[in-house]
């Protein structure tokens, strides 16, 4: 039986949930416990030693009464260290002064909201991108702190993103993705070559992504990533000759489309990470976004049984005339 998660004792702050720090038990391979050789006397002592760069800030939050225990009680400087218990608090929001994000709604019903995620916006809170994420923007825009993303799009990818309205409904929709019963179609802009034409080309390989490494890679071994790619049309501009490709991933590995397009000699226009990472790979360029759009998503609605397709309104910025 899955253990029920502890409900946060603090509310959302502008769509951002509180941080939880759990106190490990005796013998845990925790660096703080290993360095001390025993359990700390207080919860505050543990947190400040675990996060020394934030120790002064955290002590001020405790003094102000902003830190809570699992049961909602205020944590004080003398609150004892209890193995297995947690303390909860709100970290400073890095992009607190960022302009608010308004999501374009493509579809909405009792259970879900489908939005067009803009290029350059994270799907979920991540690092320095907290408020500037689709989930947090959705919680604020729709006044619903339970909103969550049912899948993810890379920050550099725009297009259809499904959000779930209620916590208790997530399982039914997650099951669609786990069972690969969701059909996704992307538009990609890349150069032209003789390896991909009007007839679909299937790319099959094994893609792995190691935590801490920028790029995913293709390794020998059993296939875990399959993508169908075909050329829809070609066009030219001042930068050269380009193709608009329809891409259908049949699996969902990290960076799968970018890796497979690159393997065909067709890295995406505006991609700063493939084939070779640029120095400014983590800086989004609104005037030249990566040309990859989650164009449509087809699935059977688990609550209604209706077969439905949701289409993005985004178009490749370098070839907007193909819209529709």
Cα 177 to Cα 108: distance, rounded to the nearest angstrom? 19
- Return the H-helix or E-strand segment holding 176: helix 170-178
- Cβ neighbours for 244, distance < 8 A, ≥ 6 positions apart: 187, 188, 189, 231, 232, 233, 234, 235, 316, 319, 322
pTM for the whole structure? 0.77
Q: State yes or no: pLDDT of 195 exceeds 60.
A: yes
Cα 268 to Cα 188: distance, rounded to the nearest angstrom? 7
pLDDT band at 240 (very low <50, low <70, confident <90, very high): confident
Helix axis angle for 43-50 and 55-63, nearest 10°, is 150
Least confident of 130-134, 162-166, 171-175, 210-214: 130-134
Question: Average of pLDDT values for 191-208?
Answer: 96
Q: To which residue do tokens 């050789």 refer?
A: 37
Query: Do residues 179 and 151 make contact, with C-beta atoms less than 8 angstroms apart?
Result: no
Q: State yes or no: pLDDT of 135 exceeds 90.
A: yes
Q: State yes or no: pLDDT of 324 exceeds 50.
A: no
pLDDT of residue 95: 59
Question: Average of pLDDT values for 64-75?
Answer: 92
Half-sphere exposure (CA, 13 Å, Cβ side) for 129?
Answer: 19
Provide the H-helix boundaries in 249-296: 256-263
pLDDT of residue 284: 78
Q: State yes or no: pLDDT of 94 exceeds 80.
A: no
pLDDT of residue 35: 86
- Cβ neighbours for 82, distance < 8 A, ≥ 6 positions apart: 23, 43
pLDDT of residue 319: 47
Q: Which of 127, 167, 132 is CA-nearest to residue 149?
A: 167
Question: What's the pLDDT tens digit per position in 22-56?
Answer: 999 888 888 888 888 889 999 999 999 999 988 99
Q: State yes or no: pLDDT of 2 exceeds 80.
A: no
Q: State yes or no: pLDDT of 305 exceeds 60.
A: yes
Q: Which residues are catalytic?
A: 154
* pLDDT averaged over every residue in the chain: 89
């Amino acid at each position: 039986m899955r253990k029920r998660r502890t409900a946060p004792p603090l509310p959302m702050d502008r769509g951002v949930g509180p941080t939880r720090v759990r106190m490990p038990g005796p013998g845990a391979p925790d660096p703080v416990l290993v360095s001390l050789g025993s359990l700390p006397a207080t919860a505050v002592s543990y947190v400040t030693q675990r996060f020394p760069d934030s120790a002064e800030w955290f002590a001020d939050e405790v003094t102000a009464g902003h830190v809570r225990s699992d049961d909602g009680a205020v944590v004080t400087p003398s609150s004892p260290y209890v193995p297995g218990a947690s303390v909860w608090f709100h970290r400073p929001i890095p992009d607190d002064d960022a302009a608010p994000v308004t999501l374009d709604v493509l579809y909405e019903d009792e259970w879900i909201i489908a939005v067009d995620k803009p290029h350059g916006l994270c799907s979920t809170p991540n690092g320095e991108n907290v408020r500037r994420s689709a989930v947090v923007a959705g919680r604020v825009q729709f006044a619903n702190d339970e909103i969550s993303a049912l899948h993810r799009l890379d920050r550099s990818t725009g297009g259809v993103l499904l959000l779930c309205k209620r916590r208790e409904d997530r399982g039914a929709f997650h099951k669609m993705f786990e069972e690969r019963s969701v059909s996704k179609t992307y538009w990609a802009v890349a150069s032209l070559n003789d390896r991909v034409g009007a007839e679909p080309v299937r790319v099959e390989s094994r893609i792995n992504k190691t935590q801490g490494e920028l790029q995913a890679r293709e390794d020998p071994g059993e296939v875990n990533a399959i993508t169908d790619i075909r050329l829809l049309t070609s066009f030219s501009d001042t930068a050269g000759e380009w193709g608009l490709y329809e891409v259908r991933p049949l699996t969902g590995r990290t960076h799968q489309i970018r890796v497979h397009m690159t393997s065909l000699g067709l890295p995406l226009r505006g991609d700063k990470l493939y084939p070779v990472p640029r120095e400014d790979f983590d800086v989004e360029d609104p005037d030249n976004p990566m040309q990859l759009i989650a164009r449509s998503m087809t699935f059977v609605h688990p609550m209604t049984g209706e077969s439905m397709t949701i289409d993005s309104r985004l178009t490749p910025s370098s070839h907007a005339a193909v819209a529709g």
